[in-house]
Amino acid sequence: MSLVANTGKLAGRTLFITGASRGIGKAIALKAAKDGANVVIAAKTADPHPKLPGTIYTAAEEIEALGGKALPCIVDVRDEKQVQKAVDEAVKKFNGIDILVNNASAISLTGTADTDMKRYDLMHNINTRGTFLASKLCLPLLKASNHAHILNLSPPLNMNPYWFSLHVAYTMAKYGMSMCVLGMAEEFKEFNIGVNALWPKTAIATAAIEMLTGTSSTSRKVDIVSDAAYVMLCKDPKTYTGNFAIDEDVVKSVGVKDLTPYACDPNNKDNLLPDFFLDLPHMTKETKAKTEAAGDGQIPTLFASISKVLSSDLVQKTQAIYQFNVKGKEEGVWHIDLKNGDGVCGQGEPKNPPDATLTMDGQHFAEMFAGKLKPTTAFMMGKLKIKGDIQKAMKLEKMMKSLQKKK
């Protein structure tokens, strides 16, 4: 649900959006289409995906149904010839390009040892190289526009080592997009081209986040990002450049006070999953002391409770082995095997290699199994480190729900 009214400022403007066949890219395209903008849909999906909705052609139909004009182009942003061809077609159909939105991105939340080089190259070639390439090839046309913008869907350059320690390859690839903003904003000032970055404050309900967490209930709709992008792209590029904006701050700046309609589940509007790369305020010493006291001596009791809810049905649904490296006052190693038999748990390492190894303080471990802290939230907030299969690690939430029901 859009909470920012269209003003018509993008009427007749041509947007070149990478990865616009679905998700955030398509949402930005549809928002601009309401103004009567022209949109070049530069994406790979020409044929329907077996699991993901939308193609460049269905996106084009939606854009034109809202009053915009669309040019669907089959583009792999890693391929210079394909990008150049799409740029040339945009010139033929729309006589130029006013706005470039670098949205296409690849993600793999894996540590160094678990990141194969094929995946590393994919992320860097799409995220960093693709952004640089599209910006380079669109530059001559942007110079000719009197309302030229480049908007990258990338995070603020946060040098907190935590964000590198979790998934250094992905962080480098996304920060590469952000460094394009930092450099090009200064480089292109003389051409009156605004170059900015936009990043969500919370998780956004896209295919990627649903694949990671298995749910969108603690996410916001794509509309908050498309509303924020619209506000940014309507600004004067001569004076608005070099900004690393957060979606929530942008929509608030134009008068949106109640963000509840953006939440996928309004009941979770105050319990949304924070996005990567944004540091949260540290707990106060008083709060931390209370939390630590509450967690004392709970882990053996927790595992005794866990053992009571293990079942062949839970094993069949989960199919994963977990190892927990607990730090702090209750330091130790624990495991849960939800792959074999009726399941087993206890102290020490599992008999078979774990699918996911989770490291966290005993206090946070207790909160997680008490239902006060979700694994996904703990991971995004930096309270939990995961090595191995992150998607299987997130399946722990199913077991925790069973545990809560049987208390």
Question: Hey, which residues are catalytic here?
Answer: 170
Write the burial class of residue 364 (CB in 10 Å: 0-12 exposed, 13-18 middle, 19+ buried): buried
Among residues 112, 174, 170, 121, which one has the least CA distance to residue 388? Answer: 112
Q: Which residue has the tokens 């998780």?
A: 203
Write the burial class of residue 161 (CB in 10 Å: 0-12 exposed, 13-18 middle, 19+ buried): exposed
Q: Angle CA(25)–CA(26)–CA(31) in degrees, nearest 5?
A: 105
Among residues 83, 139, 131, which one has the least CA distance to residue 106? Answer: 131
Residues 322/290, Cβ–Cβ less than 8 Å: no
Structure tokens that stand for 145 in this block = 């526009």
